[in-house]
Amino acid sequence: MGAVLISPVELREALADKRVRLLDVRWALGDPDGPQHYLDGHIPGAVFVDLETELAAPASPARGRHPLPELTQLEKCARSWGIRNGDAVVVYDATGGMAAARAWWLLRWAGIADVRILDGGLPGWEQSGGELATGTEPDPEPGDVGLSPGHMSVVDADTIANWDGLLLDARAGERYRGEVEPVDPRAGHVPGAVSAPTAENLDGEGRFRTTDQLLERFTSLGTGPVAVYCGSGVTAAHQIAALAAAGIDAALYPGSWSQWSNDPKRPVAVGAE
């Protein structure tokens, strides 16, 4: 796997030297205003990507709140963003990569080798002196990228139920423990999962922690093959990006808690494990 992150300084250098397709993936649970945030200010040349409609299939209790999109639909979207075969892609948001990592994971899964997350996101870009553009951008020339599935590991609920390794729950600790559950039908976690809140991948400035810090974090949680879930398969991708930055491969459970908690046959654990 290639590099996971790119700094604002490295991005400016890359934009000067070669074709880079920039994707603005601003989304947060409970915040439907990503398109307006983009219009208010974005990195020049970036294309806005709608997580709900372009990086996910329609929600359902059986599949979860953000199922993986069909490959043909993802390829259609990627071409509409102007991605061509061989392009480098950089994704960003304004929340430490929590949403942008979904695009990173999907495009890696679909076979695009050079996809990186802008470390620090839009705030880091601005703090480093990067300029912003407002309003709309010209529609990009349609791309010709060809996608193929399976370049990142995926596991389903049955596999997770019998996981022989380290299963990480990337949600906030209070959701893992079952103290609160703002969106899904049951509170708690998959039995045997270890709490590993995604927010702890970041430092106080919204940047990923160092490789050594991430490696220490994850190796302290357990051993064996690693799988990750969250609420709906979005922030779990951030966890997988952090693991990849530390040199650890991990599988994504896309349905995550939103799928698991909707199936009454699936057991639920509460409290700390």
Q: Are 85 and 145 in contact (CB under 8 A)?
A: yes
Please name which of 194, 110, 190, 212 lies closest in space to residue 152, comparing C-alpha atoms: 110
Q: What tokens appear for 95 in the block?
A: 């929340």
Phi, psi of 86 (to 5 degrees): 90, -5
User: What span, in angstroms and rounded, lies between the C-alpha atoms of 69 and 49?
Assistant: 14
Buried b (16+ CB within 10 A) or exposed e, 170-199: bbbeebbbbeebeebeebbbbebbebbbbe
Local structure of residue 156 (DSSP, 8 states): -
Please name which of 110, 112, 92, 107 lies closest in space to residue 207, comparing C-alpha atoms: 92
Whether 230 is a known active-site residue: answer yes
Q: Are 256 and 231 in contact (CB under 8 A)?
A: yes
- Of the listed 55, 91, 230, 236, which one is catalytic? 230
* Residues classed as catalytic: 230
